[in-house]
Chain A
Amino acid sequence: MTVTGEARRQRTSMIWLQAGSCGGCTMSALETGTHGLIADLAASGIDVLWHPSLSLASGAEVLDLFDRLICGDIGLDILCVEGSILCGPNGSGRFNRLAGTMKPMMTLVRELASIAAVTVGIGSCAAYGGIPAAAPDPAEARGLGFDGTRRGGALGPDYRSRRSLPVVNVAGCAPHPGWIVETLTAIAAGLLGAEDLDAFGRPRFFADHLAHHGCSRNEFYEFKASAERPSDRGCLMEHLGCKATQAVGDCNQRRWNGSGSCTDGGSTCIACTAPGFEAVNGLQSTPKVAGIPVGLPVDMPKAWFVALAALSKSATPKRVRDNSRADRVIVPPSRPQGGR
């Protein structure tokens, strides 16, 4: 069967706003595809009405577009928001005014969210507040649908978009470009429902995994052969703060920037997909009580972990132990003499 006879699917309109953002989610999204982000989205039926980094329209032209969206002249299917909603000082939103107007970005986001078929928080800032919400939270940074782990961010706890969805949270700091584009194209295809989101609004296609799954350091993890210094090849969990066994994301099942991932690069996992990750002090060291890491792998009873760690440490091959404390393989795998 050819697709030529198929009814042409309806186009999906999308607008992207940057609130209290670093722009990194847009930079990540731009890494997608072979023809550039906008062209790839268009091929999946998404028409970008305006993106602050990519579109021509500026000043009055943009304010006019916002007005026409809000009054319903132009239908809005997907509202993407990148960055925390800055509600300060004192709830006024003046720390993030929409330039050219006296309107706080907080207000514009609420207006557009009220008419959007689906609202998408791009990145952990828009999802939960993110780094700007770290103590002392100078700008009163909130997520759209969450304030850290608490439901009810800038849009309130009961927010539902026109398609009856809570905010879809493409968490991550910055998220993988695939998470962003696949979420948007799934929405455009009508394939993303409430059941496809986890309790924090994250699409389950990436959030049902742990960052640990597929980590290139897994043998070191199994034997608790741990890195002690940055650039050591060993597992980053015991000493260097790695939270990949607790953090959601298929980070190590897809590649970042061609060949990488945080843990592969020796960049310890700081659980950037988790609400409240910014509250942790000492992101590169593992807090312990009586030598046992406080944050244990998800679903693992403490007694089990202690017993398994002790057992695996006692059974660690010399190769694994030596390599864990070096920045390159110093003992290659080998079979006993006479083996092949």
Chain B
Amino acid sequence: MTRHIVGPFNRVEGDLELGLDIEAGVVTAARVTAPTYRGFEQILVGRPALDALAIAPRICGICSVSQSIAAATALRAIAGIVPPPNGVLAANIAHAAENIADHLTHFAVFFMPDFTRRAYAGRAWYEAAVAAFAAHTGRASADILPARARLLHILGAVAGKWPHSLAFQPGGTTRALDLGARMRLSGIVEEFARCFEASVLGVAVDVLLELATPEALAAYAEETAGLLPLFLRMAADTGCDALGPGPGPLMSFGAYPSGDGPLFPAGVYEEGVGASPLDASTITEDPSHAWMAGKPTHPAAGDTRPDADKTSGYSFAKAPRLAGRPVEVGAIARQAIAGQPLIRTLLARDGGSRVTSRIVGRMLEVARLIGAMRGWIGALDANGPYCADGPARFPDGAGSGLIEAARGSLGHWVEVKSGRIARYQIVAPTTWNFSPRDEGGVPGPLEQALAGLDVGEAGAEAVAVQHIVRSFDPCMVCTAH
């Protein structure tokens, strides 16, 4: 057995290091390291409660609206504030814009360029892959980056700017959208939908959403020109459909609230077991293999004390567990729990999440969000308020903000005493997916997805390693914060 250390591992938002034990061309064990620690949870403690709205989003420049909404939701729970419907809708519209932008940035800029690696030269699709997905110069970047920038104009209208805005408050949002602004939002969504359909899907959004079986998806991939069909053909040829098995349970905290419940519900789904409700009281964070002091606890009682000298540690990320088990989070989890037919049948075919189904989950989610955004923009009440008043003095108490970022479940657990933050614990999506081992030695989801991988003579340099890691769309800056 030889142990390989892989890094810097780029195109993952932040830095990542992998330790791979390889024996006879097969990965026998993987260890994932979050090598950077800034200390946001320590910085938040002691500050006035509302400062969380300025500090927490700056954990992550790619999901800052998610961090804002998690912080606002936790403070809202403590202060007992109920935002008016317009405030909820405007936040949903902004949040969906960020999440779509993230899914597309991941697809075009972070994930797909690995198909242009020299290891694939000679494949029938190689020239097409280079033209479409070459880093810096591919057609995908040229199409999608400007479309993404234009989509983010939604954030300019709703929140002033992106990333990092104080527009997401416990009471709602801070900018009322007049008729002109609402029309601009509609125009941006329609322009984006056209680009997404023309460049990525090659079909109308509704056509994609009608695909309900792996066979229908394969037929679409064969018959259609577009970046997603090209990916699907390459994925089938390179074995991505079976690559990178997840740990089993998929989890969502529920996304995009409304009076009728969230658009994508909270819950747990496990292939072969089925759907079950989420019990957030069974969440623990386990620092046994982190460079952190402490014992496994629920985040509402947790703390963060870095110990870079701890010999049993190999990451600055703690290990989150749901009822003692590692779970996978992300678009595939949200769509599985929401009962999306194609995702359910892909999970059934493969026996759980894989590289291809993770990518498909994101694209299906983008397609569904386009329709949802149209509905939310149309539902804005021309005469309604956007932000409810809060109490004059911020009350003492504890609360949580459990939401979904693009990459999966994001939780903020907050305690306020005498107007100041007494505890602030954050468990981010990639903390779940790229968790280190727990005290029972159970590896995290990525660690499990890499174990057993046949890397052949390429060893740690195998492209499959890159595909598996990036299929989770990791955000390392969130992971250890």
Residues of A within 8 A of B (CB): 18, 20-28, 30-39, 48, 52-60, 62-63, 84, 86, 89, 92, 94-101, 105, 131-132, 134-139, 141, 173-174, 229-231, 255-268, 270, 272, 281-285, 327-328
Q: Does B369 sit at the interface, judged by CB under 8 A?
A: no
Known A-B contacts A23-B60, A231-B385; A53 and B54 likewise in contact (beta carbons under 8 Å): no
Q: Does B386 sit at the interface, judged by CB under 8 A?
A: yes
User: Could you mark each residue 302-332 of chain B with 1 if its beta carbon is under 8 Å from any beta carbon of chain A, else 0?
Assistant: 0000101000000010000000000000000
Select which of B33, B110, B385 is within 8 A of A327 by beta carbon.
B385
Q: Report whether A99 and B184 are in contact in the complex, using a CB–CB cutoff of 8 Å.
A: no
Q: Does B182 sit at the interface, judged by CB under 8 A?
A: no
Q: Report whether B136 and A98 are in contact in the complex, using a CB–CB cutoff of 8 Å.
A: no
Residues of B within 8 A of A (CB): 5-11, 13-17, 33, 35-40, 42-43, 46-48, 50-51, 53-55, 58-62, 64, 105, 109-110, 113-114, 116-117, 134-137, 141-142, 145-146, 148-150, 152-167, 169, 171-176, 178, 181, 184, 188, 306, 308, 316, 385-387, 389, 461, 466, 475, 477
Looking at A24, A38, A105, A282, which has the most chain B CB atoms within 10 Å of its CB?
A24
A267 to B163, CA, bound (A): 12
Q: How far is the CB of A74 from chain B (nearest CB, A)?
A: 17
A23 to B12, CA, bound (A): 10
CB neighbours of A131 from chain B (8 A): 40, 43, 55, 58
Q: Report whether A262 and B166 are in contact in the complex, using a CB–CB cutoff of 8 Å.
A: yes
Q: Report whether A134 and B160 are in contact in the complex, using a CB–CB cutoff of 8 Å.
A: no
Closest to B109 in A: A54
How many pairs of residues, A versus B, come closer than 8 Å at their CB atoms?
280
A200 to B55, CA, bound (A): 23
Known A-B contacts A54-B136, A283-B54; A84 and B157 likewise in contact (beta carbons under 8 Å): no
Q: List 15 A-B contacts (CB under 8 A).
A: A22-B60, A24-B163, A31-B148, A35-B142, A54-B135, A92-B308, A131-B40, A132-B39, A138-B39, A138-B306, A231-B175, A231-B176, A258-B150, A265-B156, A282-B51
Q: Report whether A260 and B7 are in contact in the complex, using a CB–CB cutoff of 8 Å.
A: no
Q: How far is the CB of A260 from chain B (nearest CB, A)?
A: 3
Q: Report whether B61 and A28 are in contact in the complex, using a CB–CB cutoff of 8 Å.
A: yes
Closest to A96 in B: B36
Closest to A33 in B: B146
Q: Report whether B116 and A59 are in contact in the complex, using a CB–CB cutoff of 8 Å.
A: no
Closest to A283 in B: B54
Q: Report whether B7 and A101 are in contact in the complex, using a CB–CB cutoff of 8 Å.
A: yes
Q: How far is the CB of B126 from chain A (nearest CB, A)?
A: 14
Q: Report whether A139 and B39 are in contact in the complex, using a CB–CB cutoff of 8 Å.
A: yes
Q: Knowing that A135-B43, A266-B160, A267-B161 touch, tell me 12 more A-B residue pairs with CB under 8 angstroms.
A: A23-B475, A24-B62, A24-B163, A27-B62, A33-B146, A48-B136, A57-B10, A98-B8, A131-B40, A131-B58, A265-B175, A284-B50
Q: Report whether B10 and A174 are in contact in the complex, using a CB–CB cutoff of 8 Å.
A: no
Q: Report whether B156 and A260 are in contact in the complex, using a CB–CB cutoff of 8 Å.
A: yes
Known A-B contacts A56-B135, A57-B10, A267-B161; A328 and B59 likewise in contact (beta carbons under 8 Å): no
Select which of B7, B37, B188, B306 is within 8 A of A59 by beta carbon.
B7
Q: Report whether A22 and B58 are in contact in the complex, using a CB–CB cutoff of 8 Å.
A: yes
CB neighbours of B46 from chain A (8 A): 135
Q: Report whether B61 and A27 are in contact in the complex, using a CB–CB cutoff of 8 Å.
A: yes
Known A-B contacts A56-B135, A138-B43; A258 and B389 likewise in contact (beta carbons under 8 Å): no
Closest to A173 in B: B164
A33 to B142, CA, bound (A): 10
Q: Report whether B145 and A36 are in contact in the complex, using a CB–CB cutoff of 8 Å.
A: yes
A26 to B61, CA, bound (A): 8
Closest to A262 in B: B160
CB neighbours of B113 from chain A (8 A): 56
CB neighbours of A105 from chain B (8 A): 36
Q: Report whether A99 and B15 are in contact in the complex, using a CB–CB cutoff of 8 Å.
A: yes
Q: Report whether A327 and B386 are in contact in the complex, using a CB–CB cutoff of 8 Å.
A: yes
Q: How far is the CB of B478 from chain A (nearest CB, A)?
A: 9
Q: Report whether A58 and B175 are in contact in the complex, using a CB–CB cutoff of 8 Å.
A: no
Known A-B contacts A58-B466, A62-B10, A281-B47; A22 and B153 likewise in contact (beta carbons under 8 Å): no
Q: How far is the CB of A248 from chain B (nearest CB, A)?
A: 16
CB neighbours of B176 from chain A (8 A): 231, 327-328
Q: How far is the CB of B305 from chain A (nearest CB, A)?
A: 10
Select which of B7, B43, B50 is within 8 A of A132 by beta carbon.
B43
A268 to B173, CA, bound (A): 12
CB neighbours of B389 from chain A (8 A): 229
Please provide the 5 A-B residue pairs with the shortest distance between their CB atoms, ordered closest to farther: A24-B61, A265-B160, A138-B39, A99-B7, A100-B7
Q: Report whether A94 and B308 are in contact in the complex, using a CB–CB cutoff of 8 Å.
A: yes
Known A-B contacts A139-B37, A258-B153; A134 and B136 likewise in contact (beta carbons under 8 Å): no
